[in-house]
Each structure stands twice: as C-alpha cells, then as structure tokens.
Amino acid sequence: MIKAANIMLAGPAAYTEAVSVLKAGGLVALPTETVYGLAVDARNEDAIARLYAAKGRPAHNPLIAHIFDPAEAKEWAKISPLAQRLMDIFWPGPLTLVLPRKAGRNLSALAGAGLPTLALRCPEARWAQAFTAQGLQGPLFMPSANISGRISPTAAQHVAEDLGDKVDLIIDGGPCLGGVESTVLAIEGETATLLRPGTIPAEAFAPHISSLNLPEKAAKPSAPGMLASHYAPRAKVRLNALEKRKGEAYLAFGPSNFADAQLSLTRDIEEAARNLYAMLRELDNIPVKAIAVAPIPEDGLGQAINDRLRRAAAERP
Ligand code: TXA
Ligand code: MG
C-alpha cells in the first residue's frame, strides 16, 4: 500500500510551502532538469541525518550542494580558472563540479563523507528564483529522490511510490527534461576527470577542457556512490539483448516485434534518456524476472544511458 504523499503542483503556492518546510528542517522533493531530487537545508545537520535515513544511503556517500546562483560557489569551494570557465558556460545547468572545499566553510561533516572536496551544482530550476526571493539561502543538499541503489525518479509519482511516507512535501513539475542525472566532473587546477557521465555528453566539454580524464584512466576510484550496483530495478537486467527470452520483458531502442516498452522508436538518444528510468520502473512493476535491454549506441547521451544500465545489471550486494 502506498501512503498518500503531500504533493503540490509546481507554482508560487508550492514554492512558499517548500520554503517553510525546508526552513523547519523538512524533506522536500523537487523537480530538476535531470531527475527529481530530495532537498534539505544544507545547514541543518538533523535534516541531513533524516535524509540519509529516508534514502537508506550509506554514510560514506557524499551529497551534492545545490546553489541558486553561480556566484555563490566561491563561498564554499576553491575555484580554479578551469572551474570558473565551466561554471560560466554550463551553469545554471546539469553539471556538477567536485572542487576543493574552502577551509572553515564546511557545510556539514556528515554530508561531506570526510572528503576534502565538495560537489557543487547550480540547477536550472524555476523554484531556485522563488526560494531566493523568499529569503531561503542556499545551498540545499539534494540527492536523487529514490531509495539508495534504486532507480532515480523522473516524475513526482515515482517519488511518491518510493518515499511517499518519508517526505514532507513533493513538488510536481511534470516529467524531467533530461532523464539522467547531472554530469559530474572533478576539477583539480586545470585537470578535469569525468566521475559520472550524465546529461551533458563528454564531447560537449572538448572545446573547453584541454584533456578530460575518463574514469578508467583516473588515478583515484570514481565517485564514492558510483562503484557498486546502482540504479537497479528489482528484476535482473540483461544488456545488449537482441532477443526476448522466456520470463523477460524487452526494452527496445528502435523498431522491434517483441517490445514491451520502447525507449525511442526513431532511435533518438535524448528521447531514450528521458524514457529510461520511467520504463525500467514500468517493466519492473509488471513484475518480470528480467528486463532485457536492446543495445544502445555509446554516442552523446548513450554514454550516460549505458553507464546506468551497466550498474543496473551489476551483481547486487
Ligand atoms: O542530477 C543530479 O545530480 C541529481 C539532481 C537531484 O540534482 N542529484 C544526484 O545526486 O544525482 P546523488 O546524490 O544521487 O548523486 C551524487 C553523486 C554520487 O555518486 C556521489 O557519490 C557523488 O555525486 N559525489 C558527491 N560528492 C562528491 C565528492 N565530494 N567527490 C566525489 N563524488 C561526489
Ligand atoms: Mg542518486
């Protein structure tokens, strides 16, 4: 049984309510241009602890601080010239930068997982201006609004299904435009490392970064939350499937005689990214033993889609 969640349609009344819930230390699910996030006031340690508990998120997995204005970044992190250039070009937008923390300004030991770095993102979202206008200071810590390890939500209803009874308010802004999470880059001086492929394809950075280290080539392991199985439905996931086997549901990419769901009939990779999580959820709810997924090309957003699918298919802990 899904408990009725407090859902409000995006708009001035919902934003006012969100501000009062956040100021009181509550948990608010918010639409972003990537996926729905679960926000708390970054200065409220109790709210942060409740956020970890609600998601069942391991304490070693740090959170992204979401700011409302790119100019705020320098309050919390050291900004190299490369970081500044990327912020000027891609913010507000679906890019997260992992930067050296500024000494004496640590927002929360808990949310930082003891790292010397801080992940910062300035989302493109209508609520950001409304929150600022109502005197709510950023940042907000905001992971994706799903149970840890499961599929990220791209609609308010997904949040209600997963976390309805644990969230104080869900703002319904319709389906997310991106469909996969923000791209995460770690910046050290003039060096950038791709920690998580995401809504901005790696190719888009080529004109702005002299060399982008890919995760395989990086000296350090990638983002703490990126190692284990993640983004997983209950059903097993079989990749690069050209046929549908007994007990499977088939997730197609392009014309197919046995599609149970279709990422994009015209093989449009952006449409596929927008549909990915909703369709994995839909097939998982049937329920089936396994979800077989058609091969997806690696270009553009295909990199992020394949990254999520590989994690969804990975051995479960
Ligand atoms: O699109 C997004 O980024 C969404 C929306 C809601 O903004 N948020 C999101 O947050 O995906 P989350 O917590 O689900 O994923 C954040 C990722 C995790 O893999 C985490 O380990 C990594 O970023 N991360 C956070 N802080 C980090 C840090 N200091 N160093 C390395 N990785 C970090
Ligand atoms: Mg997440």
Mean pLDDT, the chain cut into blocks of 10 residues (317 residues total): 76 97 98 98 95 94 96 96 98 98 80 92 96 95 96 97 96 97 96 95 94 66 59 93 97 98 98 98 94 96 96 86
Residues 6+ apart with CB under 8 A from 257: none
Confidence (pLDDT) at 25 = 97
Query: Is 146 touching ligand 1 by the criterion CB < 6 Å?
Result: no
- For residue 258, the CA-to-ligand 1 centroid distance in Å is 36
Cα dihedral sign, 267-245-236-147: positive
pLDDT of residue 167: 97
For ligand 1, the distance from its centroid to the CA atom of residue 60, given in whole angstroms, is 12
SS (H, E, C) the chain: CCCCCCEEECCHHHHHHHHHHHHCCCCEEEECCCCEEEEEECCCHHHHHHHHHHHCCCCCCCCEEECCCHHHHHHHECCCHHHHHHHHHHCCCCEEEEEEECCCCCCCHHHHCCCCEEEEECCCCHHHHHHHHCCCCCCEECCECCCCCECCCCCHHHHHHHHCCCCCEEEECCCCCCCCCCEEEEEECCEEEEEECCCCCHHHHCCCCCCEECHHHCCCCCCHHHCCCCCECCCEEECCCCCCCCCEEEEECCCCCCCCEECCCCCCHHHHHHHHHHHHHHHHCCCCCEEEECCCCCCCCHHHHHHHHHHHHCCCC
Confidence (pLDDT) at 217: 45
99 close to ligand 1 (CB < 6 Angstrom): no
Give residue 222's pLDDT.
53
Tell me whether the omega of the peptide bond preceding residue 62 falls within 30 degrees of 0, making it cis: no
| Beta sheet of 212-213, edge-to-edge order | 7-9, 169-172, 28-31, 36-41, 140-141, 64-66, 117-121, 95-100, 183-188, 191-196, 212-213
64 within ligand 1 shell (Cβ under 6 A): yes
CA nearest ligand 1 atom 6, residue: 37
Atom of ligand 1 nearest to the CA of 180: 1
Query: Does ligand 1 lie within 6 Å of residue 201's CB atom?
Result: no
Does ligand 1 come within 6 angstroms of the Cβ of 264?
no
The pTM (predicted TM-score) of the whole model is 0.94
Query: What is the per-residue pLDDT for 95?
Result: 98
Strand partners, 262: 252
CA of 244 to the centre of ligand 1 (A): 34
Ligand 1 neighbourhood includes 108 CB (under 6 angstroms): no
- The response to whether residue 25 sits with its C-beta less than 6 Å from ligand 1 reads no
pLDDT of residue 239: 97
Which residue is closest in CA terms to ligand 1's atom 33? 223
Q: What is the reported pLDDT for 228?
A: 59
Site to probe by mutation for ligand 1, drawn from 64, 76, 140, 307 as the one with most ligand atoms within 8 Å of Cβ, is 64
- Give the nearest ligand 1 atom to 112 CA: 29
Residue 89 pLDDT: 98
- Say if CB 18 and CB 28 are below 8 A apart: yes
pLDDT for 109? 79
pLDDT at position 218 is: 44
- Summarised one tens digit per residue, pLDDT across range 2-26 is 456 799 999 999 999 999 999 999 9
Tell me if 173 CB under 6 Å of ligand 1.
Answer: no
Q: Is 60 exposed, middle or buried (0-12, 13-18, 19+ CB in 10 A)?
A: exposed
Ligand 1 atom at shortest distance from the alpha carbon of 181? 1
User: Residue 103: its pLDDT value, please?
Assistant: 80
